[in-house]
Structure 1
Amino acid sequence: MNTHASDLLQTSPLRDLGLLAPQLQATFPSWRPQRCLDHILLSPTLTLERVEVLAQPISDHLPVAVEIRLPGSLTADAFPALSPAPRGSDE
């Protein structure tokens, strides 16, 4: 979309979703970043632990990485039937 997060969150169909754009660092062009065009949009139910623009010029845009924490209702503990059985159990 090559646009700023504020444009995405205010003037696009995404505006009604309550998403957050935690990253404000420039990502384009990768060889001399001047514009913030790459985003990871987060639901407000997720907790941002870390956001980083990676200095890996593998294209004309720098990659963005985030580390998030899921709400308790979405962790493996909330879905025991989907969790792997402990090692050594006969299940």
Structure 2
Amino acid sequence: MTREEVLVSLRTWFQKFRATVWFRITYLVLLGVIVAELYILTLSPLACLVILLMPVSTFVVPYWLGERKLRRFAENLVVVFLIAIVLAAAMSTGALLAQKE
């Protein structure tokens, strides 16, 4: 198999995967993880930039992937921030429990 054939087969697989519901679930979970990691960075001097990046990443990535309906943006925002809140709370709790008394 040549490099071009591998790229073509990978592209066709990705196009098939993109048409499924699992693609949306995958990128929403990944966005939730990214936003949770960005939330942890709000304790740093870059807090202002990070606070701006969280909603921008939540809206821009789905737009790049073809989401254009306002209702879908709202659904994505709710799902991503729910995932981010749970993950950020878990990371903060783990950090607090790891500290010595």
Q: Given the two structures, how large is their TM-score scaled by the length of structure 1?
A: 0.27
Asked which structure has the greater RCO (Cα within 8 Å, sep 6+), the reply is 2
- Greater helix fraction, Structure 1 or Structure 2: 2
- Greater strand fraction, Structure 1 or Structure 2: 1
Q: Given the two structures, how large is their TM-score scaled by the length of structure 2?
A: 0.26
